[in-house]
Structure formats: C-alpha cells, structure tokens
Structure 1
C-alpha cells in the first residue's frame, strides 16, 4: 500500500462530499486531548471546521479516556449531548449505539467512499453495528513502541539499546547514573498497555489474538505467558521510582533525559515534536520493543450523538466528512504522531518513527487493539489487575498470571 496523496483529492472539493450549504452554527466537540502534542493536533480539526463557517467549541476533558468517557456517557444518556465526541474505535460506545443515542453515519460514509479509502478495513468494521456505520475513525494509534532517550544512555555510558533485552541489561547502568530506567505514569491504562505490548513482543501475535480475541484461558496460562509476566516483573522494578501521574509527564522524563525509556503508544511522537526533538538524533523508537515489529490498528474515532436541532445535525455531517478528507488527515496525523486511516495520502513529511510505522503497516503486520477485541468491562478488570501488580510488589508474577487467566476465562 502506498501513502501517496492523489493530486485530484488535494485540488478538488469533489473528493469531499458534505451536506451542502448548511447554516453556520456552533458545535461542541468533547475529547481528552490535552497534552502539548495532542492540543496541536486537535487544533487542526478545529481550524478546518472553522474554515467552513461553523465554529468548533472545544470541550477538552483533562485526564485520560478513563476519566473522560464516563463524563461523556453521562451527558449523552442524561439528555445533554454534545455535537461530537471522541472514543476509541471498538466496543466502547456499543451500548450507546444500541440504545439509539448515536447518529447513523452510513449515508455520509457512502457519499465519501469510506469503504474504499479507509485502510485497514477493520477500522471501519469497528465503527459498524448491524451493517450501519456509527463513527469516523481518524487515526491508527499503535501501542507497540519503546521510546528511548539518547541523552540518558549517553550520560550512563552505554549504547542506545536496539531491543528489549538490551534495554533491561542497561537498567543498572542507568540507575548508577541517576536515571530511572523505565518511565511510567500512574494512570490505570498505562500498566496494562505495557503488558499488552510485552505480550505481542515476547509471546507473539498468535498468543495475543488468542488471549484478547478468543479469550483462550489455556494460552493465558501457558509457559510462554509466564515469560511475559516475568518481563512485566522486570518492568515493574525498572519503573519503581517513576512517580509521575500522566503519560505525557512520563514522556517528558524521556525527552529531558531523566529516564531511559518509556513503553507508550505512537502518540508520544507529538510530545517529542513539540519539544523540538529529532527522531534518530535525540531519541529512538523501537516498534514491537525491537523484537516483533507489529502495528496495532486501534486508535481514535468520533461519534455524533443524535440531536434534535437540524442546523447542528447538518454541522455534524460536515464535520464527519471533513475529518476524513485527505488534507485534514495529513495535517492532523502529522501533529498527532499517528498514522492516517486513508491509504491514499502523502506523508513525505513524516519523521523516521512514523515511517517505520508506515512500513510495518504496508507489510500487513497488524493486530487489532484490545478495545476492538474485548468489552470495556473486561478491559477494566485487566487494568485493575495490572495497576495492583505494578504497585504491590508482594504480588508475584505467578500470582498475577493466575488472576489474569481467571479474567480471560470469563471475558466477553
């Protein structure tokens, strides 16, 4: 697959079918993008929408998806819906769709040929229920990365690692130099993210798919997964002195050389970019921890609650179409650090890390995100387990694996 922008798409509004001349109106959009890189990216959406004559009313909710989603859901179910709202594409909004609270976007998708341009197809499948499309996937965000500070390793007098084993082996030297080997925040999802990345890197794609997709408890109990839990125990020790809360605070520790590395999604690229750092010079990125190069095809999507106001409904349609236009896909994703969902856009301006992701995506080395495979309730139980594991060293790797097996066996 080539990420090459069709000249006609850039030059002609015919590539973007919106609802037609609609009355200019304000539209509140809620999301949890509040870090420096995230704010720069969402500003691209707002700028493009405002250029249509409408007005983007920013409804940023500080924290993370785990903090923001309950607020968003409460507003929608309580009769105070926003114009559009971010979720991760997958099963997070499933109950809202089933309750008839989310707008059917199928007509907009068909008018703009989403099925032909969105790649991989699983992204749009995750927005689809009973044959109807209910969300706009706006990016591909992969969790499968290890971000490394060149300054930290230079200060410690050791080479920048090329894989997970080398990173673990360098930890003592980093500590001697006063560095924290592994930066990790205290938001609940960060610990389970690290574990999921370790599963794919060390046990492989098949094991990941069987556990999260098939809910295979036997694989979860296997010796291969025992090795993953041992690695999680190593990660726990390496992150023991990392006392920050938010993921971007942990990323900043890598940017400033206080920490050797961070297991985090490719959205971390936005923070390096805002800080003026250059991939390959100031920092390195190892997809699949340098062990198993895979791209996860989860990411962000926007849903549009059903509104009674016809003018705002028309503005919703304009925004939905605009978010998947070629120009906006390029501008947004270059700032966000994510990959575009369109397979026909030009990313010559991408940095080295993004190009690595594009190459892996082009090879088809992809997996679906946990949000696409497990229910929100099941993933919450997984999150809770790893929060406890990373914060309570009395829980052994063996005990944690047994508890994980029980969660997988009863997951939906």
Structure 2
C-alpha cells in the first residue's frame, strides 16, 4: 500500500510537470569561484537537458554574507527568484514561517527523501511543522586543514600531520618567505577557522556544550581559553595574506606561497581546477589531524512561492533532479563536498573526499553552527572574530566577549 501510494504520487508529479509550459527559472547562489562554477554548472546542465525548462543563472559574488541579504530582500520585496541557495540550518526559517517558500512535501514523500538523505538531520533542517521546504544537496564540513607540499619543501621542513606540528613549523615557513597561514578577509572565514580550532583543541564535548547547549560557563572556561590562545598565536602568522576572498587564499596554498589554510572541503574544487593531486601536491587533515570529525554543514535550495502553476511545476522538477543519483555524483565530485545520498557510486572520489566519506560512515559527525545558532548569534560571533583576527585584541578579552554572546544566544 505504501509503495503504491508513492508510485501514484510520483506519477502525478510527473504528469503535472509534463503538462506545464516551459519556464525560465532564475536560480540565485553565491558559487562564483572556479571550482564552485564548475559544480553549479552540473545543476544547470541537468535542468536544461532533462526538462523542458531553462536555468537562468543568478550568481552573486562575495560569498553568503553578501548574497543572503540580497536574496532575502528580493523575496520580502515581492521579487522572488525561482530557487535560491541557503546553508543547512536556520537561515530561511523566518521566510518559511512567513509563508513565502514552496512546500515540497509531496515530492519528498513520493521520492522517499527521508529514506535516502543521510544524515537525516539535513532533511530535518528543511522541515518545519512536519512539512518539507528545501532540498539538501551536499554535506560540506569546515573541519579541514589544507597544506602545500611545495611550501614545506621550500622551507625545508616535513609536511605536518597535525595542528601542533603545523604551528611549530610556522616560523620556518615565514623565514622562507611564505605566509604560514592563509586567511582571507571576509568575516565568515575567521569565524569558521575559530570553530575548527575549537573542535580540534577544546574537544567535541566542550564545543557541543557551547554551540548546542549555549553553556556560557564552558565558553568562559579553560578549554576555550586554550583555543583563544592558539588563535592569537596563529593570527600573527596570517597577517601578510593580503587577500579578501577564500579562494584567493586557497590559490596561495596551491602555488606554494602559503603553507596552509583552514577552510571547508569546498576548497577541493579549487585544487581540482588547478589539477593538483591529493597526497602529492597537497595534504588534507580533517579535524586538523587532532579530532577527525565531519560537521554536517552544506547547502540546500529553497523555492520561493510565485503564485504560478507552471513555475511551481518547474521548481519541483529542479528539486527532484538535485537529489537524483546522477546529479548528486556529478555535482559533488566537482564541488568537493559529500553527497547527501549514501547510495551513490563515488569510486572517482579523490583521497580527501574518501577520507571524508570514511569519517561520515563511522558516525563521527557533528552539526554545523548554522544548524545550532541563530543568524543573529552567528553575526555577532563573526563581528567579534573579524576584530580579533585583524587586531591585537587580548585573547582573554575576546573570550569574555564570546562568552557573553553565548549567554544571550538563541
């Protein structure tokens, strides 16, 4: 009975889509680097080739911090796009609650999304009041350190296997004319790097107490003091990066001008475009080589309501395609992210992606900060980290401010 119902529902969706007229569907996102552009092109290709509709690319440069306010303003202002990227978590929560997003529950139930999305918490992030409003497309983890083999060879020191070895090698890298730690100037980069240091150095229990349980006492305690001290030492070796965008910092690792970068696994797309080989040209250390975990961040697509049956049919076709096996593989291999489906063939994955898949399969996962902290709290932390990384702010003062933010977090 359950299977019959699903088949009938899927048939109805297909019939409705085929009866609809061709639609030009604008899709907004912030994927503009070389690797990101190659990945999003796989979505566009599938939509253009497998439907009667047309993908209209609405890339917004500057990353999510720049793009999200523009996207939200358009939706609230009555000029909605056909589909838009947000990160997994609470970024679109208020838009959904305002009734501005298309309900995808019929597609999700027909195709059994709850059975194929892994971990299912990603689908839970799309679910409000038992209705599904977005399609998760990947798993991106912040928990990575990328190291340039050329930079370490030029400095005459071995490639590190963990954070402590890396920190010890930073003076040698600097003496060799390298930027020891590449750090772009956007607020989310410094905030994300601090989060990675926290998981590695304070430990999973302390991170969970602060980011999930909002425990300000732990945030003000000795575990986090150790993280702020490590970050203060590291910022001295990142001061000469002199780039703004994350992919420009990644390019410095690729060319050997920088020793390393703390950045999410989306950096893999840039290494791929540069035709560098994991294990030969660069090393990837999940959890900074200390705590090997994967955070289940990443991206999902929402579909703002348009009040037009033809557009709604096209929106649901795109949602379905994004989660299909073929598109999941093509997109994620280019993006450097992990698929949200556990039933796809990733034999073509590189060594770093395979490390991520092994960690995911082991269950060593934690939620992303976007899933546990509100956009307002995240913004306050980003502001603090921007000031901390770009100044000589005392670690103890920064920690006190951070603990106060957590005390008021929602």
* Aligned residue number for residue 400 of structure 2: 402
The CA distance in 2 between the partners of 1:36 and 1:348, in whole Å, is: 23
Residue deviations 1:374-408 (CA, integer Å, cap 9, x gap): 00000000000000001111x11111000000000
The CA distance in 2 between the partners of 1:141 and 1:315, in whole Å, is: 27
The CA distance in 2 between the partners of 1:16 and 1:197, in whole Å, is: 45
**Is 1:137–2:110 an aligned residue pair?**
no
TM-score by length of 1: 0.95
The CA distance in 1 between the partners of 2:119 and 2:13, in whole Å, is: 22
The CA distance in 2 between the partners of 1:195 and 1:16, in whole Å, is: 48
How is 1:1-400 mapped onto 2 (pairs within 5 angstroms)?
A: 18=14, 19-21=16-18, 22-51=20-49, 52-393=51-392, 395-400=393-398
| 1:23 to partner: Cα distance | 2.0
The CA distance in 1 between the partners of 2:13 and 2:265, in whole Å, is: 30
Question: Where does structure 1 lack aligned partners over 5 or more consecutive residues?
Answer: 1-13
CA contact (8 A) 2:157 2:172 kept: yes
Moved runs in structure 1, 4+ residues, more than 4 A? 14-19
The CA distance in 2 between the partners of 1:55 and 1:262, in whole Å, is: 38
The CA distance in 2 between the partners of 1:332 and 1:56, in whole Å, is: 15
CA contact (8 A) 2:147 2:253 kept: yes
| 1:17 to partner: Cα distance | 6.7
* Aligned residue number for residue 5 of structure 2: none
The CA distance in 2 between the partners of 1:314 and 1:256, in whole Å, is: 46
Residue deviations 1:271-313 (CA, integer Å, cap 9, x gap): 0000010000000000000000000001000000011121111
The CA distance in 1 between the partners of 2:378 and 2:120, in whole Å, is: 23
| 1:16 to partner: Cα distance | 12
TM-score by length of 2: 0.96
How many residue pairs get matched? 398
The CA distance in 2 between the partners of 1:357 and 1:84, in whole Å, is: 28
- CA RMSD across the alignment: 1.2
CA contact (8 A) 1:16 1:325 kept: no
The CA distance in 2 between the partners of 1:16 and 1:242, in whole Å, is: 55
DSSP-derived class of the 2:66 partner: helix
CA contact (8 A) 1:17 1:112 kept: no
The CA distance in 2 between the partners of 1:334 and 1:128, in whole Å, is: 27
The CA distance in 1 between the partners of 2:12 and 2:248, in whole Å, is: 38
CA contact (8 A) 1:15 1:112 kept: no
Question: Where does structure 2 lack aligned partners over 5 or more consecutive residues?
Answer: 1-9
